[in-house]
Structure 1
Amino acid sequence: MARSSGNNWGFPRERGYGSARDAQQVRLCDRHGCNEAGNCPAPKSPNNPERWMFCEKHAGEYNRGWDYFEGLSKEEAAAREKQERSDFSGYKEAAHYGWAGSGDGSRSGDEMRALEILGLEPDSTFEDAKKAWRKIAKETHPDVKPGDEEAAKEFQAGQAAYEVLRVAEELRIWKG
């Protein structure tokens, strides 16, 4: 019987599986002054393959302050979001996992923007949206403020926001 070069004869007698005699290389956390193992990758910048390697503590700290759209104007952020959404548009059931912002993950980015236009919190109900839309409509309707372009734009934005939330609510009820 041929004997392997180690003292285990093909079976790990004195040590567990996967253990080796050689020193293992451990990457340290990239945070200055930290000597913990860096086993959590974090992106250095959007769409960049390079990664920081942090310990769990510093990875959490880094992720709390991460803003994917940092340094972009509102138009650039909207264009980037549209481009990112096109990548997973075929997965309609998972659409709420897009760049929705805050909330519980049950609302799409469009719904979150609609709530923002109506001045509501992310966890507001459809009844709250209805009340907010009625209030905006009473204040900015073209019959109430004839000739006021700003009020007309606000009315149209509120109407579109309410329509987005109404359709989403109908879909939720329908899917049940």
Structure 2
Amino acid sequence: MSRAKRSDDWGFPRWRPYGVGREAQQVRLCDRHGCSEPGNCPAPKSPNSPERWYFCTEHAAEYNRGWDYFAGLSAEEAAERAADEERGTRSYARAQHYAWGGSGDGTRSADEMRALEVLGLDPDADFEATKKAWRALAKECHPDVKPGDADAAKRFAAGQAAFEVLKQAEDRKSWKPD
């Protein structure tokens, strides 16, 4: 009976770094005929196809140079797809998981940002600008100035609520505990 031998792989602490094993690593070769480089760059075999070629960096660049995105489409379909792509690059779709972030720098809540929007102010406006915008809105559409105008009354109420939100936020900023 052979005696058990001690190896570097048993017990704790590990004697070799994590991720290092004795087994061979699987390497996918470039799909280009005759290339022996690793194929790390996936490329579609055809438009809208889930099948992929796997090329090395050099052959992936060569493949992409010859790629025609509009191959097989009529002139109208190509123009429509180009317009859809262009429309997608001009507008910014906000990711849902960033919605909680608010103003981007984290200093204003979503309610404060909406209040600034109602008053027509930039996100970085200070409280003095807020007061000025509120006064201008009140002078323009106060119910005493425009009696009987329901639209002006709604705008005034929205502006008043927006100013209250921003005033409370300013009070929270300036409040210091004893």
TM-score normalised by the chain length of structure 1:
0.53
CA spacing shift, 1:3–1:106, aligned 2, 3 Å: same
- Output the CA distance in 2 between the equivalents of 1:30 and 1:163: 55
Work out which of the two has the higher radius of gyration on C-alpha atoms and give 1 or 2.
Answer: 2
Deviations 1:32-61 (A, max 9, x none): 6798xxxxxxxxxxxxxxxxxxxxxxxxxx
CA spacing shift, 1:167–1:3, aligned 2, 3 Å: same
CA spacing shift, 1:104–1:142, aligned 2, 3 Å: same
Segments ≥4 residues shifted beyond 6 Å = 28-35
| RMSD (Å), alpha carbons | 3.8
Aligned to 2:103: 102
CA spacing shift, 1:156–1:66, aligned 2, 3 Å: closer
Long gaps (5+) in structure 2: 28-39, 45-51, 56-91
Note if contact 1:100-1:112 (Cα within 8 Å) is conserved in structure 2: no
TM-score normalised by the chain length of structure 2:
0.52
- Output the CA distance in 2 between the equivalents of 1:116 and 1:133: 12
Aligned to 1:39: none
Residue 115 of structure 1 pairs with residue 116 of structure 2: yes
Residue 132 of structure 1 pairs with residue 160 of structure 2: no
- Output the CA distance in 2 between the equivalents of 1:31 and 1:137: 60
TM-superposed deviation, 1:31: 9.3
Report percent identity of matched pairs: 56
Long gaps (5+) in structure 1: 36-63, 70-96
TM-superposed deviation, 1:106: 1.3
